[in-house]
Structure formats: structure tokens, C-alpha cells
Amino acid sequence: MQYRTLGRTGVQVSSLGLGAMNFGTMGRTTQDEATAIVDAALEAGINLIDTADVYSTGESEEMVGKAIAGRRDDIVLATKAGLPMGDERNHRGSSRRWLVTELDNSLRRLGVDHVDLYQIHRWDPSTSDEETLSALTDLQRAGKIRHFGSSTFPAHRIVQAQWAAREHHLGRYVTEQPSYSILQRGIETHVLPMTEQYGLGVLVWSPLASGWLSGAIREGRSIATSRSTFMPQRFDTSVPANRAKLDAVEQLAEVADEAGLTMIQLALGFVTAHPAVTSALIGPRTLDHLHSQLAAADTVLSADVLDAIDTIVAPGVDLAAHEKNDTPPALLDLALRRR
């Protein structure tokens, strides 16, 4: 396992991190399975575990807490807040009111007195950067969080938050957690240059593109992955963007075969090759999934392989741009751009 410094924090994290989104009802992973996955991940050298309050409505945090009991100090523990935690309109977002309350909820579920990294799950357009950063700075000073970061922020919001921190003399985001894979390379255009400019650590989510790059999805096979059961529209190959992904997968499979790599090794080796990326978050549902992904821990792609990937999906291109989670609200809601 390789280790890299998380931005300018001085904290060393593994180049593969364990994402816990599948722990609980969302991924149907039981506590015993989750504990076994954590055990195996730590044994393999992973020291970063990332979860969120919204994953199975708190169940993931509870399961992570039980799995790491007795070895908390050996783990860089990250969680997130901001996505809706129910129907109550104030149980979401990045206001001081919610973050102060929800961090305590997360600490209780995790069974710890602090987290190493607290991340704002999505940019909240209804809350000012000063409000959010002020709350996070106070929580940091109180010792409840060591560092804080953003997740899936568009580039201009990353820049604005850095300037707001400087202008108001507040703590700043030290990490960004974007979606990044061979099939979704849009962040190479603006987001990654900004993280490098401001020295942010980058924790990549969905490096296997929701299973498209796992090797399980190929031409002529029925798609029966876990993700396809609750997001069927993203796997319907009659949709042009999904067809483009499948065509790319077939070409990438040839590249992997010629290089003597699995698709997973190709996919994870690609994202960790980018100089701006600190760690790729893998989200196994089972031990078998974990072991197949750990096999990519030390994969280093040659220049020829990276060039071949570029000919299939060009740098900075998203094959399914509509699946991005950082689209400005005005492009999603007609009411916000109509008078």
C-alpha cells in the first residue's frame, strides 16, 4: 500500500481508502460483514475510512463505529453532512444550526469524541460560506473535528470558499472529495487544477464509475449489479450516454488485457496516477469485492497505457455529464432562471 500526505495537513493516508456507503440497508451489508471488511482493509494497510450521516440514514456510521472500536487512533476517520436526513427542512444543508447538531449525532453514532475530517457533502446555495466556515472553525477549535473539507463542489465554489476563509480569518477547507473515473473526467478541466492551486487533498469517490469499470459490465451480458437495481436509468443501454460508456468499457477491456491487468486495476491505477489525487475511495459490499480492489493497491500504469486510455476517453471529458452532482441549481430548476 502506498501512502500520501493529505493536502497540507501532514496526515498520511493510504492511496486506497475504504468508503462505507454500502454498510447497512443501502448496500445490504450486515454488521458482521462490515467488520470483516474493515478488518481486512486495515490488515492490507488502508488507514482511511470515509462514511456519511446520510448513508443508510446513520446506520453506516453506527456500523463503522462498532467495527473500529478499540483501534480508533490507528484510523483517519472521515464523515460528511449536508444531504437531507429526513423530511424536516432544517435537517440538511450547511447552516451552523444543523452542522453543530448533526456533528454531535455523527459522533454518537460513531462512538468517538472527534473525527479527523468533517466534509460538507454538497455545496449548499442557501448558506453563505462565512456561516459554514465559521461553524466548522468553531467545531475544530472545540476539538470535535481535526480538519474539514468539501465534497463535489464545482471549481468556482472551491475558489470562493478559499477566499471567504481568507477574508473572514476562518479555517479553510483542506480537502475536496469529487467523483472521478476514466468515464467521468470532467474534473480534470477545472476542479483538479484548483485543488492543486490551493494545496487541497483529493479523495476520489466512484473510481469504478458505479460498477461500470468493475469488469462485471460487458457487451452482451445482462447488467445485474447492485447499483443497477436502484438506479436503472444509469444502466439502460438504450440511453446514448450509457451506450457511450459501454462502448468505452469494451475498448478499455482490450487495453487492460494487453497490459495484463484487471479492469479494476486499470480503473484504480488511472485515478491514483493523477498528481492531484491523494486517495481513491473504494466501496466494497463484500469481502470478495474488497480483495479484488485491494489487488490494485500498488498498480502503476505505464505511459503507453495512460495514452491508450486518453484515446478512448479524452482528458476532461464526462461521458455522462448529466450524472454530475455539481450542476448549478439554476440549470436544474426552471424557476430559478425564469422571471
Q: What is the SS3 string spanning 58-105?
A: HHHHHHHHHHHCCCHHHCEEEEEECCCCCCCCCCCCCCHHHHHHHHHH
- Residue 72, class by beta-carbon neighbours within 10 Å (0-12 exposed, 13-18 middle, 19+ buried)? middle
CB 204, CB 280: distance < 8 Å: yes
- CA gap 241, 248 in Å, rounded: 11
Which backbone phi and psi does 29 adopt, to 5 degrees?
A: -95, 125
- CA gap 84, 140 in Å, rounded: 23
**Among 3, 55, 118, 198, the one annotated catalytic:** 55
Q: Which three cell numbers stand for residue 50?
A: 470515509
Q: Which three cell numbers stand for residue 335?
A: 424557476
Residue 55 is a catalytic residue: yes
Q: Which three cell numbers stand for residue 271?
A: 485515478
Give the active site residues: 55
